[in-house]
Every structure is written in C-alpha cells, then in structure tokens.
Amino acid sequence: MSNRVKYAVGGLAVAILLFVLLPNWLALLIVIGVPVVGYVALDPSQRRRLRKSGRKQIDR
C-alpha cells in the first residue's frame, strides 16, 4: 500500500471518528478547515511546487 493510500485511509478514519464524537457542524469545520489552513500557511513558492507536483502526478 502506498503512503498516499495510507494517509487517505487514516484521514477517513479520523473524519468518521470526528463525526461520531462531535456535532456535525464542528466535525465538518475541522475536516475542511485543517487542510485549508495548512495550504494557506505555505509560502507562495511552496504552493507553486505543490500545484506543480499535483499536475505531474495526474499527467503520468
């Protein structure tokens, strides 16, 4: 199993756990907010590199 699949499975497990333990609106805020805050915290050069690597994976 690749690292990307492991991260996806882990993220799904955390999301399900959050939806069970917290109110739905708070769980949704966390599930969407954490990646958005992480992306916004990157420098412009890091964002560019991230977008470029994402396109390269798609073009393979």
Look at residue 28 and tell me whether its pLDDT is greater than 90: no
Look at residue 29 and tell me whether its pLDDT is greater than 90: no
Look at residue 30 and tell me whether its pLDDT is greater than 70: yes
Look at residue 60 and tell me whether its pLDDT is greater than 70: no
Count up the domains in the chain and report the number.
1
Compute the distance between CA of residue 1 and CA of residue 10 in angstroms, rounded to an integer: 13
Which pTM does this prediction carry? 0.59
Over range 8-21, report the average pLDDT. Answer: 88
Structural contact between residues 28 and 36, judged by C-beta atoms closer than 8 angstroms: no
Over range 6-35, report the average pLDDT. Answer: 88
Domain span at residue 17 reads 3-59
